[in-house]
Amino acid sequence: MTHYLKEPLLLEKRGVTISNRIMKSAMSEGMASRDHAPTDELIRLYERWSEGGAGLIVTGNVMVTKDALGEPGNVVLEDARHLDQFRRWASAGKRCGNEFWMQINHPGKQVVRGLVKEGHAPSAIPFPPKFQRFFAPSRALTTAGIHDLIHRFKMTASLAKEAGFTGVQLHAAHGYLISQFLSPRHNRRTDEWGGSIENRSRFLKEICRAVRAEVGESFPIGVKINSADFMKAGFTEEESKYVIKSLEELGVDHVEISGGTYEKAVMTGKKGPASEREAYFLEYAEGLKKRTTIPIAVTGGFRTSEGMREALASGATDMIGLARPLAVDPYIPHKLLEGELKDITTRSVRTGIPAVDKGGMMEIMWYSQQLDRLGRGKQTKPRFSPKLSLLLSLWKQGMGVFQKRRV
């Protein structure tokens, strides 16, 4: 029987081969130093993930400027100050021969109140009242501000290459800045950056062009994008397919499919008919594959080797994206590749307190604590009680903990 997971994947335009079909998807680690540099704990975490066997490993989101943070422990790469530490991180994350890409991000309006004064977004559309106590108010970007941010994405990509990362992934999903530009709900501009989907995708396309011009022809560029926002008047599946087709024409090498925003957090679980399938964005991916030849990864919900095999065999996806399972056991890719693991058991991370369980924050907290243990060289605690996890977070960070974690 063909072992689909073991097949290498060639990124043709770059002549880069990913050694197998498993991708470790981005998980924001919250482990940077006070001045936003990679710490020894972060480096240790990626040594473990590299040993774990995934063909492609993507970092948690690295911000293009310290003036816009999604959470306090974000890594920021905006100049060469900490490049030696980034070099150590890059070597650790690719030590076993896997591809190691840096995910590059700007949170836009999803910036934490208290951490920054004000966010920047395509348009100054306030969050619904229930989210306003979490997020700082935001103002609309000027044209000069937009060009400055395109430059910043380019600089971060250039520094990532210089540090030894083997590629970059632009975060255009989950309601962050690029995703805000794509969405008609958040982008109400009347200039060339808003209106039609062609205009709304201009910010992403200009970043892709600028990054490509900077990093050259042999360096892969990936994009993580929503299949849809799942919000009224938001970014739709049809628009998402259109944007991916134009990314293909621009020479983007790889697209990871996710969905949702902080206001509609479906990236870690989706209700409705699609949830009958193990991975909740697969139906969308099947349709997408009819329109594009760009290699894609689908992320969200994969938990059985059979489900992964079927998804690859059907041609709906080229790679299997895995996040939460690898926070609990970094060696899962190796076990899947060797046929030693059929089902990944994940526990439901719920405290039973509705106000706490709502919106997925509890999950993020619990999984972050597992990452923290790995970074400190400890074993994970797969059976760690969510209630204790909550108490631990409250003890360490106080009530602000609910305001500080994002996907």
Place of tokens 């059976």: 383
Binding mask 209-248 for ligand FMN (x = CB under 6 A): ---------------x------------------------
Regarding 60 and contact with ligand FMN (CB under 6 A), the answer is yes
Interface positions, 288-307, toward ligand FMN (CB under 6 A): 299-301
Nearer to ligand FMN, 19 or 258 (CB): 258
Check if the beta carbon of residue 139 is closer than 8 Å to that of residue 108: no
- State the virtual CA torsion across 20, 327, 46, 365 in degrees, nearest 10: 140
Q: Site map for ligand FMN, 102-121, x if CB under 6 A? A: -x------------------
310-339 binders of ligand FMN (CB under 6 A): 322-324
Residue number, 189 or 285, with CB nearest to ligand FMN: 285
Helix (H) or strand (E) holding 256: strand 254-258
Strand partners, 18: 9
Q: Which of 381, 103, 387 is nearest to 220 (CA)?
A: 103
List Cα–Cα distances, 297 to 22, 174, 279, 348, in angstroms: 9, 16, 11, 24
Q: Give the angle 254-92-381 at the CA atoms, nearest 5°.
A: 90
Residue whose CB is less far from ligand FMN, 118 or 278: 278
Q: Which positions ≥6 away from 111 have C-beta within 8 Å?
A: 68, 69, 70, 118, 119, 135, 136, 138
x/- track of binding to ligand FMN for residues 172-211 (CB under 6 A): -xx-------------------------------------
Candidate ranges 84-92, 211-219, 227-235, 364-372; the one touching ligand FMN (CB under 6 A): 364-372
**DSSP 8-state code for residue 351:** -
Q: Any contact of residue 28 with ligand FMN (CB under 6 A)?
A: yes
* Interaction of residue 393 with ligand FMN, rule CB under 6 A: no
Contact criterion met (CB below 8 Å) for 295 and 318: yes
Work out how close the CB of 174 gets to ligand FMN at its nearest, in angstroms, rounded to a whole number.
6
Nearest to ligand FMN of 194, 268 (CB atom): 268
- Residues in the site for ligand FMN, rule: CB under 6 A? 25-28, 60-61, 103, 171, 173-174, 224, 258, 267-268, 299-301, 322-324, 363-364, 367-368, 407
